[in-house]
Structure 1
Amino acid sequence: MNILLTGSTGFVGHTVAAALTRAGHTVRGGVSPRQRTVLPTQVPMDFAHDTTPEVWLPRLVGIDAVVNAVGVLRDSSKRPIDAVHQHTPTALFTACAQAGVKRVVHISALGIEGSSTRYASTKRAADAHLLGLVAQGTLNAAVLRPSVVFGKGGDSSALFMNLARLPVALFPGPMLTARVQPVSVHDLAAAIVALMGPALQTQGIIECTGPEALTMGAFIASLRQQLGSPPAHVLRLPDPLTQLSARLGDAVPGVPWCTETLSMLGSDNVGNPAVFEQLLGRNGVHYSQLVASAWR
């Protein structure tokens, strides 16, 4: 198929583009309009401003399927979270329905139900709009909700690896207790390939997780073990200092640790991998094998 992939140069998007190309699809990659060089296979698009279906319809000519892999952790003037997560994706999905696009796969996030953060609320709004189009029978679509996605090139993965290298680790309390179910970025890409082929008719929400859950602290300890290092001495950061560190993170653009992250750690990020593993045709990569399979 001819597939329009938004966020094609990002951590997840880059991996998805490679997997779709290997599977024989033709990928047109969405890139920032500020990118200096735009290749013939790329399409400039601005998720901060492309908030109407009319902007998207010309980009969908000749397109069979769309994969949306755009996302931000934090709000910023250049990438406002309301536009990036909600207004632009809903415009894109509406345009897909109008243009007769055969398939839409939207990468959302696990753990957004019940969360009051802007990250979660904007993600939920886009999911609800797309699922509404599915319910109306106007679009064939799947919403992927991955837990922590691990792989080379991911900002959060790099943070986890840097923490894993420390012989003495000072962790915020929620990081020691919040449960996650890490998933390999390559497994996530493989599931999207399946949704463009043998599982083309699979619709609705799909939880994308590794086979086993553990606390964030235990995950970082596992990464340290995978690096061949002895166990670290772990200290708990007092709650007032945790709050302060998150507020300091708010003041530094691009840093993954902030008050939004702290708030999201208040709930577990786990799910049932059954449907995801059906797409893969196997178990997902276990967290104890992520360094060997997804980092190198």
Structure 2
Amino acid sequence: MLKNRKKKDILEPSQNNQGEEEDLKLPLFDLSTMSRATNDFSPANILGEGGFGTVYRCMEEGISLLLLSHMLPLQFFIPEHTSKEKVLDWPQRFHIINGIARGLLYLHQDSRLRIIHRDLKASNILLDHEMNPKISDFGLARSVGGNETEANTNKVVGTYGYIAPEYAIDGLYSVKSDVFSFGVMVLEIVSGKRNKGFCHPDHKQNLLGHAWRLFTEGRSSEIIAESIVESCNFSEVLRSTHIGLLCVQRSPRDRPSMSTVVMMLGSESELPQPKEPGFFTTRDAGKATSSSTQSKVSANDVTMTQLEAR
């Protein structure tokens, strides 16, 4: 959903004069608000239709134009809100996790060009009415040829909370940096919490650190969102959490490939023990650290660009 945006702004990432790419921080509206603003999605309020959905004239003050897509971002469903319209049960969440994994497997292995997305996050996963996930926003994606699986850059782009440590610090991106971002999303889907901004009264670790702490103490069940406790298959949820921690390990060499992730999600085979995650301790609002490295990154909620001397 967007308000007061031109078509070009909707379809293309904005760029400043230095060529830095930025995310748009979009307002989110719940279903009741959208229904009220469009007079229950009245055909009389339709301004036009396109590939992304239907554009409605909105009647509420402060909203002059609303793009109502047939698909909503996963981010819309992750936070634990009181709105029952946003709550997904565990079978839906597990279906989403599997769908994202298979989509990444296609990009990394089955596509004609090997594609590294570089900005996987909840707001870039769109869900249709059947909760089928689609990976979106390839504005920062890069393709690598042949058997290559990695590359490096002087300009680091990504989103704080999802970006892999080797990319944030050294500018090295690979299929394994996408795996890291996937792991973050798995832990967010299981917990109903976002990695960025996660706060716990007993420690200063982010969601990755909290999940790691619970895992090492044999208390992984405590990370499960209260809203899915009654609907969840505990062995399936705990296995998904375990896989998420394998994906966010600090070293990219330790992270599984997406083909391995898909296999692990679809089987009951024994899983290897994960090592410490990267960026699992948040020391303050502007710094994120792993056990041995530190990176100064933007602490806001939009795409970050970091220039480093090589």
Alignment TM-score, normalising by the size of structure 1: 0.31
